[in-house]
C-alpha cells in the first residue's frame, strides 16, 4: 500500500488540527467497520458580499493516517468557501486533491466529506430553528 506525497504530508503535518473555540457548528461521524471517528468544527462568518463563508475549520480524528490526511485536506478545501460551495466538496474531490488513496482506504475520505456536510447542515438547521423562535 503506497501513499502519495500529499497524503504523507497531510498525515505528518496536518492542517487545522484541533478544536475551534466558539465554533458555529460541530459534527461527529464514524465508521464502525474500521473504527475511525472524525469531529469537524466550522466557524461561519460573512465575506465582503455578505455571504456566509467558512472562516475557520478544525478537526479531531481518531483513526489511520488516511483518515487524518483526508480530514486535513477537507478542512483546507472548505476554508473561505461559501456554505453552498463547501457542501459540494465530495469524497472524490478530497481523494483527487491528495493524489489518490489505496482502495482499502477510500472509506476514510467518505468520513471527512460527510463530517463537513453534517456540520454545515447542523449550522443551517440551528439557524433556521432560531429564526422561528425569534
Residues serving a catalytic function are 34, 108
Q: Which triple of cell numbers denotes residue 67?
A: 483518515
- Bridge partners of 97, per DSSP, are none
Q: Which triple of cell numbers denotes residue 134?
A: 425569534
How many Cβ atoms from other residues are within 10 Å of residue 68's Cβ? 24
> Can you tell me which residue has the cell 481523494?
95
Q: Which triple of cell numbers denotes residue 39?
A: 469531529
Q: Which triple of cell numbers denotes residue 102?
A: 489505496
How many Cβ atoms from other residues are within 10 Å of residue 25's Cβ? 21
Exposed, middle or buried: residue 67 (CB in 10 Å: 0-12, 13-18, 19+)? buried
Amino acid at each position: 500500500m503506497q501513499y502519495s506525497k500529499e497524503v504523507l504530508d497531510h498525515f505528518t503535518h496536518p492542517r487545522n488540527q484541533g478544536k475551534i473555540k466558539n465554533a458555529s457548528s460541530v459534527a461527529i461521524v464514524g465508521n464502525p467497520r474500521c473504527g475511525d471517528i472524525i469531529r469537524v468544527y466550522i466557524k461561519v462568518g460573512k465575506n465582503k458580499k455578505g455571504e456566509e463563508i467558512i472562516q475557520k475549520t478544525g478537526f479531531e480524528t481518531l483513526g489511520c493516517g488516511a483518515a487524518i490526511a483526508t480530514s486535513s485536506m477537507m478542512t483546507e478545501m472548505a476554508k473561505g468557501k461559501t456554505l453552498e460551495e463547501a457542501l459540494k466538496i465530495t469524497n472524490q474531490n478530497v481523494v483527487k486533491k491528495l493524489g489518490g488513496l489505496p482502495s482499502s482506504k477510500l472509506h476514510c475520505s467518505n468520513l471527512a466529506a460527510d463530517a463537513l456536510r453534517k456540520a454545515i447542515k447542523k449550522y443551517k438547521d440551528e439557524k433556521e430553528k432560531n429564526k422561528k423562535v425569534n
